[in-house]
Chains A and B, each alone.
Chain A
Amino acid sequence: MAPPEPPSSAPDEGHVVLRVDGVAHRVEAGQSVAAVLLAMGPYILRRSPNRGGARSAFCMMGACQECAIVIDGAIRRACQVEVRAGMEISRRGAGLGTGASKQGNAETTPGTAS
């Protein structure tokens, strides 16, 4: 599932350190948060509010909202946000537990209003 190793040729200033679910990672600058998470694996980013189905990024152009997770404390589309030093990313969607911990649908809260 995990794609090839990131290229090692990039200079140091071409990288940023951020945290994903509390764990620090050094990643290439300029990437979208979604690209970083997909490369890191597993693909799952959150669960759907009604049936608790596993979901990940899908359209990568800001339309489908499947990658909307908590970034720096707010729900953001991971495919539209570029990584930044010190960024806090949580694989958690609106109103639900983390996808990565595979917690089902126990704490369902009303879905995101549109």
Chain B
Amino acid sequence: MRTAFDLVVVGAGPAGGEAAIAAARAGLATCLVDEGPAPGGQVWRAPRTASARGSGPDADRRGGDDLRARLAASGATILQGAQVWDARPGFTLSIVGPDGASLLSAPRVVLATGATEHVAPFPGWTVPGVFGLAAATTLMKSQGTLPGRRIAVAGQGPLLVAVASKAIALGLRPVVVIDRNGIRDWSRAAPGFARDPAAMARGLGWIGRLAAARVPYRARSEIVGVDGTDTVRGIVVRPLDGGAERRFDVDTLYVGDGLAPADELLRLLGAAQESDPLQGPRAVCDADRRSSVPGLYVAGDGAGIRGAQSAAAAGRIAGLAAARDHGALTDPAFDAASRAPRRKLWRLARFADASCRLMRMPEASLDRIADQTILCRCEDVTAGEFRAAIADGARDLGQAKHFTRLGMGPCQGRMCLHAAAHLMRRETGALGDLRPTPRAPVRPVELGALIGTYDYDDIPVPKAAPL
């Protein structure tokens, strides 16, 4: 396979897909690398089973089908099931995929790595049967199923309502929906949501379905804990503004507290980020999506949470900018082609802000994390152990990692570092990004997969020195 390209795009969601299409159409030899089985990313995920294909296509499916068709016709080389585990300036990307390990090189790279869901830790969030909200959408989109008989849906933001409503459509009516936000928070978001009337109509449809199914809705409430150790037997819920705790018998809990940029490669390449209260650590970039690293472009949620439609627009701009910088597009052609996506980004800014506001990290809840609650799932590090490390002098998460192994397991801190950073900022007054130094491999990779198969005769042996 060819390994040198004009442009490599990492991530085939709305942002990466549009970037690859725009660049390939402009004539750049473009390679699109993606972890999933088909382009679409998390939001426009392709159905993989007959039952998933059988369910009626919704807006996300249509968005994905359209993207997949245009990608197939774009001429871009598409590598699915491939993980990028290292990136070096210039650029060389180390990937491991179905055909083993290889290196891709290109003078330009678009990072469109998407988001990771975060969940504010609570006692029992590690119990089998507790899943992320994003996990629920993944299962419903790609497999057409959702595990559980008596399910609860909890957390915050548009995804909460989407998951609860789509579960009803699958015949699985939630026992209860637990929302950190209240009616007033949602009303405040309405003007922003109105910037994307189609999305707003979809959202109102979800709410309507929940109301019609008479799903019990607990506004301004959160999970206190899970009853059970090997299976979920129930959950305990408390109102945020005080009042009695209440238990619900459920066997499965879907819970999510918003999204954070999946910024491992961005950080590894040394691109500048700035803290943003709504978008998370946001990549510093110009209007054409050029990051602080020459030749490196950023788009989509990986550069700051903005949602699928904004991601698609930003991706298109990034792909066009790469083509322009490569010399494949004249300035007037670039200006003309990027006008529509720029307008779309501008129009959707308030929509994205409204969504992000509903998904903001629940700081008060994080402050209340009990000492016995597990913070780092991989290494079973509790909040108490983490607080003890702070008392012993840890002042950033790299130090806390040395003291406690927090963030040292196979997820590499993806599940715990946001909550841990918040706790540390609160307890020490420390500022800035406290996360440990980014290092390769940014994904756990098997040494066997990197070595591949070889013959001893293939190993170069230097000539013996003359005696």
Q: B116: shortest Cβ distance to chain A, in Å?
A: 5
Encode contact with A along B111-133: 1 for CB under 8 Å, 0 otherwise: 00000110000000011111110
Chain A contact residue count (CB 8 A cutoff): 52
Whether A64 sits at the interface, judged by CB under 8 Å, is yes
Q: Are A51 and B138 interface neighbours, CB within 8 A?
A: no
Q: Which residues of B contact A56 (CB under 8 A)?
A: 128-129, 131
Q: Which residues of B contact A39 (CB under 8 A)?
A: 145, 147
Q: Which of B174-182, B190-198, B375-383 contacts A (4 or more CB under 8 A)?
A: B375-383
A87 to B42, CA, bound (A): 25
Q: Which residues of B contact A64 (CB under 8 A)?
A: 377, 411, 414-415
A30 to B45, CA, bound (A): 13
Q: Can you show 24 pairs from A to B with CB atoms below 8 A apart?
A: A1-B129, A1-B231, A6-B51, A10-B51, A30-B47, A30-B52, A42-B231, A43-B252, A48-B378, A53-B126, A54-B230, A56-B129, A58-B377, A59-B134, A59-B135, A60-B131, A63-B262, A63-B415, A64-B411, A82-B37, A111-B378, A112-B409, A114-B409, A114-B412
Q: A7-B50, A57-B135, A62-B35 are in contact. List 12 more A-B contacts (CB 8 A).
A: A1-B129, A3-B145, A3-B147, A6-B51, A9-B50, A28-B51, A30-B52, A51-B380, A53-B380, A60-B136, A94-B410, A114-B409
Q: A105: shortest Cβ distance to chain B, in Å?
A: 10
- Smallest Cβ-Cβ distance to A35: which chain B residue: B143
Instruction: List A91-114 residues whose CB lies under 8 Å from chain B.
Output: 94, 102, 111-112, 114
Q: Are B231 and A43 interface neighbours, CB within 8 A?
A: yes
A39-B147, A82-B37, A114-B409 known; A28+B49 contact, CB < 8 A: yes
A64 to B121, CA, bound (A): 14
Q: Are A112 and B444 interface neighbours, CB within 8 A?
A: yes
Whether A17 sits at the interface, judged by CB under 8 Å, is no
Q: Are A102 and B230 interface neighbours, CB within 8 A?
A: yes
Encode contact with B along A1-30: 1 for CB under 8 Å, 0 otherwise: 111101101110010000000000000111
Leading 4 A-B pairs by shortest Cβ distance: A56-B128, A60-B135, A43-B128, A30-B48
Whether B275 sits at the interface, judged by CB under 8 Å, is no
Q: Which residues of A contact B458 (CB under 8 A)?
A: none
Whether A69 sits at the interface, judged by CB under 8 Å, is no
Q: A7: shortest Cβ distance to chain B, in Å?
A: 5
Instruction: List B26-70 residues whose CB lies under 8 Å from chain A.
Output: 35-37, 42, 47-52, 54
Whether B99 sits at the interface, judged by CB under 8 Å, is no
Q: Which residues of A contact B332 (CB under 8 A)?
A: none
Q: Which residues of B contact A41 (CB under 8 A)?
A: 147
Q: Are A30 and B408 interface neighbours, CB within 8 A?
A: no
Instruction: List B363-417 residues whose CB lies under 8 Å from chain A.
Output: 374, 377-380, 408-412, 414-415
Q: Which residues of B contact A63 (CB under 8 A)?
A: 116-117, 262, 411, 414-415
Q: Are B42 and A61 interface neighbours, CB within 8 A?
A: yes
A59 to B415, CA, bound (A): 9
Among B52, B143, B444, the residue within 8 A (CB) of A65 is: B444
A79 to B134, CA, bound (A): 13
Chain B contact residue count (CB 8 A cutoff): 55
Among B116, B129, B379, the residue within 8 A (CB) of A50 is: B379
- Smallest Cβ-Cβ distance to B114: which chain A residue: A61
- Smallest Cβ-Cβ distance to A66: which chain B residue: B377
A10-B50, A65-B444 known; A48+B149 contact, CB < 8 A: no
Whether B142 sits at the interface, judged by CB under 8 Å, is yes
A62 to B409, CA, bound (A): 14
Q: Which residues of B contact A58 (CB under 8 A)?
A: 130-132, 135, 377, 415
Q: Are A42 and B128 interface neighbours, CB within 8 A?
A: yes
Whether B229 sits at the interface, judged by CB under 8 Å, is yes
Q: Which residues of B contact A60 (CB under 8 A)?
A: 131-132, 134-136, 138-139
Q: A58: shortest Cβ distance to chain B, in Å?
A: 6
A17 to B220, CA, bound (A): 46
Q: Which residues of A contact B251 (CB under 8 A)?
A: 1
Whether B278 sits at the interface, judged by CB under 8 Å, is no
Q: Are B378 and A31 interface neighbours, CB within 8 A?
A: no
Q: Are B134 and A29 interface neighbours, CB within 8 A?
A: no
- Smallest Cβ-Cβ distance to B151: which chain A residue: A3
- Smallest Cβ-Cβ distance to B142: which chain A residue: A32
- Smallest Cβ-Cβ distance to B135: which chain A residue: A60
- Smallest Cβ-Cβ distance to B413: which chain A residue: A114
Q: A111: shortest Cβ distance to chain B, in Å?
A: 6
- Smallest Cβ-Cβ distance to A53: which chain B residue: B126
Whether B305 sits at the interface, judged by CB under 8 Å, is no
Q: Which residues of B contact A6 (CB under 8 A)?
A: 51
A74 to B134, CA, bound (A): 26
Among A61, A74, A80, the residue within 8 A (CB) of B446 is: A74
Q: Are A4 and B410 interface neighbours, CB within 8 A?
A: no
Q: Which residues of B contact A65 (CB under 8 A)?
A: 378, 409-411, 444
Whether B429 sits at the interface, judged by CB under 8 Å, is no
A60 to B256, CA, bound (A): 13
Whether B148 sits at the interface, judged by CB under 8 Å, is yes
Q: Are A1 and B444 interface neighbours, CB within 8 A?
A: no
Q: Which residues of B contact A62 (CB under 8 A)?
A: 35
Q: B175: shortest Cβ distance to chain A, in Å?
A: 14
Q: Which residues of A contact B35 (CB under 8 A)?
A: 62, 80
